Structure 1
């Protein structure tokens, strides 16, 4: 398969995953379209985890109890998708105003080989002052990705020693008790994201 064919295949996989997750939320009980649906049932998304934040400190799901978690999985070498989604998260938090104090944004790497705490520390400051970057061992990342049904895989370039990462691009909103509330598909407008988050906080 040619390189362009592989890229097209990976893009198709990501689109299918995003569509599947969105449709699954609609089946849970939401209505209204991307970024504005609400859920009335319980989805098996999330769970316990142990990771390291950008300072190197160990964090678990209990670290963030009492706050809403806005979680995005990606990697710092991502050329466009991750910066775009993190920019949307940052803009949504800004639109929330004082309510944003109740929300903890988290950026979880799916590339722990390169995304050390030091790298994450430099990266998260590019987006929002409250954004925390989480990394860990490959096994720890695999566990949390599985809990959130996040797809990722290394995509190596046959013509060089470099690589990129194929991954699903979904923002998850979790409640103060750690329970799944909703997901935001790629490129959800920040005002819609902020509106949906605020509806839970209120």
Structure 2
């Protein structure tokens, strides 16, 4: 009887261990992601196959965003830098990717300047309006161009989720970029193997 109690207690404690990840990722089976063909910040044709075998952090935004996008992308870049310092093997498996929702203004040259400000390995992706619409649909991303200002500029309303995708392009989890770099790094470490 005592041995049964000890075994049950050990199993209960191991099941509650904070270091043990849940059995299934939160986005397991979600219809998010898919093939894409875009252009990177260096003007090179880039497809989802370029990232095969790597975990991907997928963030959608635009470089002319006055506040949210730079803050979120800075958090993502800082989280990857934290991982490079604390867990370099995990960091090496990750590619942070910024996909524009404003391809008219976000040319490869504009993206290059933007992503290089946040992390040297961050990839910026743009493409035709049609190609961006396709990837937005695949990733369940909303965006809508606002009214033009007197100077001709405009804002783009868009959703703000950050996906962690598996090496085979399947969704794993949403990253909490609104909670800061430590929270993002912790969530990445929970899933990246």
RMSD: 1.9
Superposed, which structure 2 residues align to 1:150-169 within 5 Å?
A: 150-157=141-148, 159-169=150-160
Superposed displacement of residue 41, structure 1? 3.2
Residue 141 of structure 1: how far off its partner (Å): 0.2
What count of residue pairs does the alignment treat as equivalent? Answer: 168
Given the alignment of the two structures, is residue 147 of structure 1 paired with residue 113 of structure 2, yes or no?
no
Measure, in 2, the Cα distance between the counterparts of 1:163 and 1:111: 10
Greater Rg over alpha carbons, structure: 2
Given the alignment of the two structures, is residue 71 of structure 1 paired with residue 62 of structure 2, yes or no? no
For residues 28-43 of structure 1, what are the structure 2 equivalents within 5 Å? 38-39=25-26, 41-43=28-30
TM-score, normalising length: structure 1? 0.78
Unaligned runs of 5+ in 2: 1-21
Tell me which stretches of 4 or more aligned residues in structure 1 moved more than 3 Å: 157-160
The 8 Å contact of residues 67 and 175 in structure 1, kept in 2 or not, is answered as yes
Equivalent position of 1:132 in the other structure: 123
Cα separation, 2, equivalents of 1:158 and 1:79? 14
| Alpha-carbon distance in structure 1 between the residues aligned to 2:69 and 2:131 | 21
Asked if structure 1 preserves the Cα contact closer than 8 Å seen for 2:28 and 2:171, the reply is no
TM-score (norm 2): 0.82
Aligned-partner Cα distance in 2 for 1:181–1:76: 26
Equivalent residue, structure 2, for 1:201 = 192
Residues of 2 paired with 1:72 and 1:53: CA distance? 14
SS for the counterpart of 1:88 is helix
Query: Residues 136 and 142 of structure 2 are in contact (CA less than 8 Å); yes or no, is this contact kept in structure 1?
Result: yes
